[in-house]
Amino acid sequence: MKTRTSDQSFGALLVSPAAAFILCIAIYPIVRVLLVSFFAQNLGTQLEPKFIGLDNYVRLVNDGHFFQTLRTTLFFTLVSVMIELLLGLGFALLLDQRFRGRSFARAAMLIPWALPTAVLAWAWSWIFNDQFGVLNDLLHRLGVLSRPVAWLGNGPTALFAIILADVWKTAPFAMIILLAGLQNIPAQLYESAAIDGAGSLKRFRFITLPLLGPSIMLALLFRAIQSFGIFDLVFVMTGGGPGGATETLAIYSYNTFLRYLDFGYGSATIVVSFVVMAVCAAGIYWPLSRLRFASE
């Protein structure tokens, strides 16, 4: 019994440095944002905090601009995460085969994941450049386009460009999780299904997909939360433009803080975005936990 208690205090001692960092640098800011959201702290108050209760939230409910960025963010998240999962699944199915050069292919498919998003956003801006961009040139050569498109200069095409860049960047992450899931499926299942005369499509439908369920939900959860907070790509590629068409929640909050120096209202936008994100995440997590429970 004595060793048990001293184990406890030794254990607590080992955890305490990490816990101190997390408390001060991760937990405290969350509390602080919540607190500041009840204050007016902006150029009007000369950046001094003044308690105003729920006024920031009242303002937010009537802020059409905020809801537009919320819609853009939700649309971006939904579309990009769907495509990422499909492409990631495709990559994982390819890498799950045995072939020569597998480790080269795997490294190639990991590279977009490992590169800095903010830096590669430049690479995509250059590809989508209206005058000298390689995409316009390729599409022109293929006879798809007769005149160049200003991809980043129009709302819908700019959003499409950002989605494509995000898919490129993050499909490898989905691939890694799904590949691990694929490799956990016992080979005997496929063999006995083949003996029973099931074709490859049938095997995919009735063995691969159901057993991959938990991995798919996991990748979905991770990707959805991260793309909900998308900042880097938009900041570099369009800055939220043209005309606010690609402005996401993170960009809106960032501008509220740094451009308009409206700290109180900016904090309120963070709190509300966070709640929306948590609700969406819970909506994904709930079936995930049930799937996991069922598979155990």
Partner 1 sequence: MKRSIFYLLLWLAVIWCLGPFLWQIITSLKTNEEISALPVTYLPHNAGWQHYDALFIRKPFARYLLNSFIIASISTILCVGLSALAAYSFSRLRLRGARFMLGGLITISLFPPIIFFFPLYEMMRRAGLLNNPLALIIPYTTFNLPFSIIVLATFFRGVPRDIEDAAKVDGFGRLQILWRIILPLAAPALATTAILVFIFAWNEFLFALTFMTEERRKTVTAGIATLSGTTVHETPWGPIAAAVVVSTIPLIILVVIFQRRIIQGLTAGAAKG
| Range 64-103, binding partner 1 (CB under 8 A) | 90-91, 94, 97, 99, 103
- Applying the rule CB under 8 A, the residues between 127 and 146 that interact with partner 1 are 127, 129, 131-134, 137
Minimal distance, residue 207 CB to partner 1, in Å: 19
Shortest distance, position 210 Cβ to partner 1, whole Å: 18
Both tokens of 252, joined, read 């809106």
Contact (Cβ atoms closer than 8 angstroms) between residue 156 and residue 72: no
Residues 257-276 interacting with partner 1 (rule: CB under 8 A): 257-258, 263, 266-267, 270, 274
- Return the residue of 108, 194, 209, 275 that touches partner 1, per CB under 8 A: 108
- Closest C-alpha to 65, from 276, 258, 274, 253: 253
Binding residue for partner 1 (CB under 8 A) from 123, 194, 209, 275? 123
Q: How far apart are CA 43 and CA 124, in angstroms?
A: 37
Residues 6+ apart with CB under 8 A from 14: none
Query: Would you say 152 and 158 are in contact if contact means Cβ atoms under 8 Å apart?
Result: yes
Size of the site for partner 1 (CB under 8 A): 90
Is 225 among the residues that bind partner 1 (CB under 8 A)? yes
Per CB under 8 A, does 18 bind partner 1? Answer: yes
- Single out the residue of 111, 194, 209, 275 in contact with partner 1 (rule: CB under 8 A): 111
Sign of CA dihedral 99, 101, 103, 109: negative
Query: Which one of 107, 194, 209, 275 is in contact with partner 1 (CB under 8 A)?
Result: 107
The alpha carbons of the chain give a radius of gyration, in whole angstroms, of 24
Q: Does position 117 bind partner 1 by CB under 8 A?
A: yes
- From the list 265, 259, 251, 248, the residue with the least C-alpha distance to 58 is 265
